[in-house]
Structure 1
Amino acid sequence: MAPHSEVRAGVPVEAGVLGRVVEKGALPVALGIVAAALILLMEVFLRYVLNAPTIWAHETGTFLCAAAFLYGGLLCVSRDSHIRVILVYQTMPPAIQRVLDVLISIASAAASGFFAWAAWMMVAKAVWMPAGGVRLERSGSAWDPPLPAYLKILLFLTLIAMTVQFAIYAVNQVRKLGSQ
């Protein structure tokens, strides 16, 4: 996080409304990880104690953890705590750091946008048949849920949200530059 950012409700002011909405979604997503742990604990008990395994526990736990991982990336962006190389950044005076913040946000928005475009190509293959009908990609297991398609859709939506969040940062950082 840039040292000059004011923080409200866990997110920098520059994150805007989207950052605050993403922050509010963190607890339900974290509870998904707890649910995944409980599901896998139940599966161990059923499999090794009662010799009655389920066909859905592993895939459900994997889906919940993968969804949390994706949301975690968006949460880091909204908190402006994503990984960045600051070796050169820290040596610059605060005025240059603020300009670099804008450039970093613009570059990150562009990168996220390109990744969203790539994710859209995966979604198109995972959701639509070549003839145009809807057919969700499935896991191929005995349970065979459409969780792979859901994850690809979630990845796409997360990357769009990241792109928008970086754009919000860039706009608000430019405004901040103009007011100084």
Structure 2
Amino acid sequence: MSTQDNDQQEHTPKNPLDRALKWLGDVASLLFVLTVLISFYEVMMRYVFNSPTIWVHETASFLGGMLFVLGGSYALATNRHVRVVLLYDSVSEHTRKILNLFHHVMGMVFAALMIYASYHMVQASWFSPLGGIHLESSGSAWDPDFPAYTKLFILIIFIVMFVQFLLHLIQEIIELRSDR
């Protein structure tokens, strides 16, 4: 098998959730084009027509933020997350599987802690102290509810990432047992 084929296989999603997240990430990446287009629109309105908008900056920031958050789950789904390649590539295949187990367990711990923290952020940004729904807004002249939506999206993505890490851990354990 060539290096390119091996690299392609290594980055192929291995379960239905990863495949769905890869598809979602590929489709959502088109929002970068929208972000560029509305930013270009703002530049034209501001500097050519001397008529700046009040919505472009916050919308572009919101879209970019959502794509950035989704990127973590996408990277995990396509096995393109950050690792110390110098160490990882210099060990045996069996040791790599052990390192993968450690990575998935630590990823689950990290995701669980982030779920806990982001749940409290969502609670504070979606509910008033008396318990009624009141979405946190940006406080700008336009004042959209983007901060509340962003915090909810972060919570959802960390829940998804926890499940991803769990599925990857199970798959790695199965592969490790089958190697014996």
Question: Is 1:7 aligned with 2:16?
Answer: no
**Total equivalences in the alignment:** 174
TM-score by length of 1: 0.90
Contact map agreement 1:112 1:160 (CA 8 A) in 2: yes
Which position in structure 1 is the counterpart of 2:38? Answer: 39
Higher RCO, Cα 8 Å, sep 6+? 1
Which position in structure 2 is the counterpart of 1:26? Answer: 25
Contact map agreement 1:5 1:12 (CA 8 A) in 2: no
Deviations 1:70-119 (A, max 9, x none): 11111001111111224433332211211221121111111111112111
CA RMSD of aligned residues (A): 1.8
Q: Which runs of 5+ in 2 are unaligned?
A: 1-5
Question: Is 1:75 aligned with 2:74?
Answer: yes
CA change 1:121–1:5 in 2 (3 A) is farther
Which position in structure 2 is the counterpart of 1:132? Answer: 131
Equivalence map 1:1-180=2 (5 Å): 7=9, 11-13=12-14, 16-180=15-179
User: Which residue type is aligned with residue 165 of structure 2?
Assistant: F
CA–CA distance in structure 1, aligned partners of residues 128 and 97 of structure 2: 47
CA–CA distance in structure 2, aligned partners of residues 98 and 6 of structure 1: 19
CA–CA distance in structure 2, aligned partners of residues 160 and 5 of structure 1: 28
SS in 1 for 2:170: helix
User: Which residue type is aligned with residue 9 of structure 2?
Assistant: V
CA change 1:177–1:42 in 2 (3 A) is same
TM-score by length of 2: 0.90
Contact map agreement 1:123 1:152 (CA 8 A) in 2: yes
CA–CA distance in structure 2, aligned partners of residues 133 and 112 of structure 1: 28
Deviations 1:8-44 (A, max 9, x none): 8x5342xx11100001112322111110110010011
CA change 1:6–1:173 in 2 (3 A) is farther
CA change 1:18–1:5 in 2 (3 A) is farther
Query: Moved runs in structure 1, 4+ residues, more than 4 A?
Result: none
Percent identical = 33
CA change 1:5–1:178 in 2 (3 A) is farther
Contact map agreement 1:26 1:75 (CA 8 A) in 2: yes
SS in 2 for 1:55: coil
User: Which residue type is aligned with residue 82 of structure 1?
Assistant: H
